[in-house]
A and B are shown apart, each in its own frame.
Chain A
Amino acid sequence: MSEFGFHLAFWSLAAMTIGGASMIMVSRNLIHAVVWLVLSMLGVAGLYLTLSADFIAVVQVLIYVGAISVLMLFAIMLTPRAERDNSSSLKTAGPAGVVVIMVMIATFWVAIDTDWGSVREAALTDQARLIGESLIKHYILPFEIGAVLLTAALVGAIALAREDDEDAAVHAASLQAELDGREFDPVDVVDPPLPAVLTAELPAEPESEART
């Protein structure tokens, strides 16, 4: 790719990323903020593409745009309406600004000070394979630890969030059956056998049978 095309792509993507990020701070509405965040993340994915890191770029879109932002929207939707908007109070703005400026200065200093090994043209190699191989061969232990951690988190999240009405009903019915000293079949809760009135013993036919 020529210099001009590269610069065009880089500067427009950078503007998209920074602009999106600024709008996140400016917008009062949380949903708007998430939409701007998506724009910013798409810009970052584009920047990865200009660095010939197409695997990372696609994964950035897949995970951050497709999953994380949707999860954020979901979380916002599930919280009550009153807490959905950004607070208009500026009480904490001062300290936060100081912290941000300090972090920025540190980052710039590191960025300028580091001796980056830069290449003009990155080779378009099979990056997915390389990443996979290094994960499996060199970083197998951290990879496995991460996997176990994620599994534990998943199980924990399910255990915390589990609130299944049907299960609760089955549990309640089993306790009730134990209290009453009855046999218990979980299927009966989900699907009661037959209306009790239909299965009850037939009463003796009354004398005054007037049916025609």
Chain B
Amino acid sequence: MTELAGLSGILGAWYDFRDLNNLQRLITEWIADWGPDWLASIVTGLLGALGILGVIGPTLLVLIWVERKVIARFQQRYGPNRVGPKGLLQPVADAVKLILKEQLAPRAADKLIFFLPPVLIFIPGILIWGVLPFGPRMSVADLNVGVLFLLAVSGTAVLVIFMAGWSSNNKYALLGAMRAVAMSISYEVPMVLALLTLVVFSGTMSINGIVEWQQQEDVIFILLFPLTALVFFFAASAELNRTPADISEAESEIVAGYHTEYSGMRFGLFYAVELGNTLVVSGFIATFFLGGWWMWGLDEWVPSWIILLAKTGAVYFLLIWTRGTLPRLRVDQLMSLCWKALVPATLLFVVVAFVQRTLLISEGWDTTIALPIMAVINIGLSLGAIMLFARVARPADLRRPARIRMAGAEIGGLRAARSVAARSEEPQFQVGGD
């Protein structure tokens, strides 16, 4: 963003809201004038953390309202509309209710481990925000191993979920925890592979570096690696426990899964972190595959963090949409989908990315011509892979269509059933099948 800094005198000043980093830099420099340098680091860190907390807290409250309202619209309902204008205060009322509720703990619960998870679950939930770049210089910690940090932090959450499920001494919770762990172990593989594709192709492990690569090459990764983006989206929604992969808290099977026994604000914390994670994962999908804070020059006129939030909102809406529409897969189906379809697909594109990257670098091809060609090739490959996996990995019992026949004049028992089944004309009604 060098051209941005040179545009006029106000750019880079503390009141330039397009890049909130300026304000922080001002404060750091001011402290460095009189104080020790460790104080500056601590103040910077605290400012970032407080900024994140100050943003997520209210955002979560709004998100609850948004999600309920959107889902309600899918379901032809009004959604919350009583508390406050348009029901906007409903989340506040819910939060107050949760805080005032009695906190119950099963007598046979493992007390220490039972109390910790609602608190611990916040740690990865907050840490993960630290590496999300809101702008060219706007992330709390622009690590050069940002991608790995993201995976490492999100991987620790499953430990907390396991602690919650195990310590409750409830079979639903235990089943939920086991499912969560099994799913997390499985779905981290396609997630890692999907990110590896981007890392290989852009040649950096810094999250901001990946965005800058997209900016530099004028292309967003979803065009280059559509299937990888799709797999990442699904794997992320599986890690987030959202339908169609919410098996670890499947309401109709195991009540609420690992947080069945948590009541009051303890449940509220789980709920809040889940929503926050959904938002931050939407943000990362937007960052990795949709260009993050960059958008073909629009970022010079609109603050970059607004662009990122808009993209995040779009992905978040997509997540709500899938949640409102799709039924849930079974545990074994989710596992076989992961290992038989998602992992091979992402592995394929890791190889593809490696080959294309090598070609770009060693042959020195012009990226403005080579990248569109590669995008077309990859889109074709993705479609082919989807069709191939639909054929190969599809369960055998879905190959034959389900049929409904009309009995007509045949009414009776087994004999009538036989003659209806033996009737040669086309069945009235047929769904599914190859």
Is A55 part of the contact surface with B, judged by Cβ < 8 Å?
Answer: yes
Is A109 part of the contact surface with B, judged by Cβ < 8 Å?
Answer: no
Contact partner of A202 among B41, B112, B181, B419, CB < 8 A? Answer: B419
Is B287 part of the contact surface with A, judged by Cβ < 8 Å?
Answer: no
Main SS at interface, chain B: helix
In the assembled complex, the CB of A163 is this many whole angstroms from the nearest CB of chain B, namely 13
A65 near B113: Cβ-Cβ < 8 Å: no
Contacts of B222 in A (CB 8 A): none
Q: Which of B147-155, B240-248, B295-303, B353-361 touches A? A: B147-155
Contact partner of A31 among B37, B113, B411, B415, CB < 8 A? Answer: B113
Count of inter-chain pairs, beta carbons less than 8 A:
107
Is B187 part of the contact surface with A, judged by Cβ < 8 Å?
Answer: no
Is B399 part of the contact surface with A, judged by Cβ < 8 Å?
Answer: yes
B185 near A67: Cβ-Cβ < 8 Å: yes
Please give me the residue from chain A that is nearest to B415 by CB atom. A203
B163 near A35: Cβ-Cβ < 8 Å: yes
A58 to B156, CA, bound (A): 12
Q: Which of A97-136 contact B (CB under 8 A)?
A: 124, 126-128
In the assembled complex, the CB of A12 is this many whole angstroms from the nearest CB of chain B, namely 14
In the assembled complex, the CB of B69 is this many whole angstroms from the nearest CB of chain A, namely 35
In the assembled complex, the CB of A4 is this many whole angstroms from the nearest CB of chain B, namely 6
Contacts of B418 in A (CB 8 A): 197-198, 200, 202
Please give me the residue from chain B that is nearest to A73 by CB atom. B162
1/0 per residue B158-176: CB within 8 Å of A?
Answer: 1100110010000000000
Contacts of B9 in A (CB 8 A): none
Main SS at interface, chain A: helix
1/0 per residue B33-63: CB within 8 Å of A?
Answer: 0001110011000000000000000000000
Contacts of A199 in B (CB 8 A): 421
B38 near A70: Cβ-Cβ < 8 Å: no
Contact A1 B145, CB 8 Å, known A31-B110, A61-B156: no
Contact A66 B158, CB 8 Å, known A4-B38, A74-B181, A191-B397: yes
Residue from B42, B148, B395 having most chain A Cβ neighbours under 10 A:
B148
1/0 per residue B97-118: CB within 8 Å of A?
Answer: 0000000000000101100000
17 further A-B pairs in the complex, CB-CB below 8 A; given A59-B152, A66-B158, A124-B144 = A1-B37, A2-B37, A31-B166, A54-B144, A54-B145, A61-B153, A62-B148, A66-B159, A67-B185, A70-B181, A73-B159, A74-B181, A74-B182, A190-B396, A194-B421, A198-B417, A202-B415
A binding-site residues for B, Cβ under 8 Å:
1-2, 4-5, 29, 31-32, 35, 38, 54-55, 58-59, 61-62, 65-67, 69-71, 73-74, 77, 124, 126-128, 186-187, 190-191, 194, 197-200, 202-203, 211
Q: List 7 A-B contacts (CB under 8 A).
A: A2-B38, A32-B113, A61-B153, A67-B155, A71-B185, A73-B166, A128-B148
